[in-house]
Amino acid sequence: SFCSPDVCKGCKSCIKGEKLVLFIGGKCSRNCWYCSLSKNRKNSPQAFANERPIKNSKELIQEAIESNSKGAGITGGDPLVYFKKTIQYAKALKRKFGKNFHIHIYLPLVLVSEKKLLKLKKYIDEIRFHPSFLIDNSNQEEEIEKIKLASKIFGKENTGIEVPMIPEKK
């Protein structure tokens, strides 16, 4: 619920419709059976700002202005597959709109490293993980260590886990 004091800033902004959705590209480091990406987006390198295809930072900024965005959520596929583009776009948004332009990112844990987390921290305010251990218990210890590392870098209040809600599953 939006009213819950435990809901993070990024989620509160999304609920209000204040955030631009930056789909960085459809390639992913995982192959989740429940993936919601359409056939058109899955494995495609095409980026979208909201539903507008974009080719560069200028087009991203234009969509953010036109949609009156107060922040952005970066998703994919796996934004770390497109690490340079992810950094480039997040940097462009912060440069144009300032440090109060709130950016959060959704990531699987496969490609997460300390080096990448430290680079992301320069432009990303909150980080959300899609751990595979919630689905199939694989890589549990390794993924938990990566989440702990991110929590040290981003702070506990800015680090979270996204759990897929699938009907008929517990």
- H/E element holding 147? helix 140-154
pLDDT of residue 33: 74
Q: What is the pLDDT of residue 11?
A: 62
pTM of the model: 0.89
Cβ neighbours of residue 129 under 8 Å, at least 6 residues apart? 106, 107, 108, 109, 112, 143, 146, 147, 150, 159, 160, 161, 162
Q: What is the pLDDT of residue 1?
A: 46
- 143 phi/psi in degrees, rounded to 5: -70, -40
> Any idea which residue has 């809600």 for tokens?
165
* Low-confidence residues of the chain: pLDDT under 70: 1-18, 134-135, 137, 166, 169-170
Q: In this predicted structure, what is the pLDDT of residue 34?
A: 75
- The set of residues, in sequence order, having a beta carbon less than 8 Å from that of 5 and lying 6+ positions away, is none
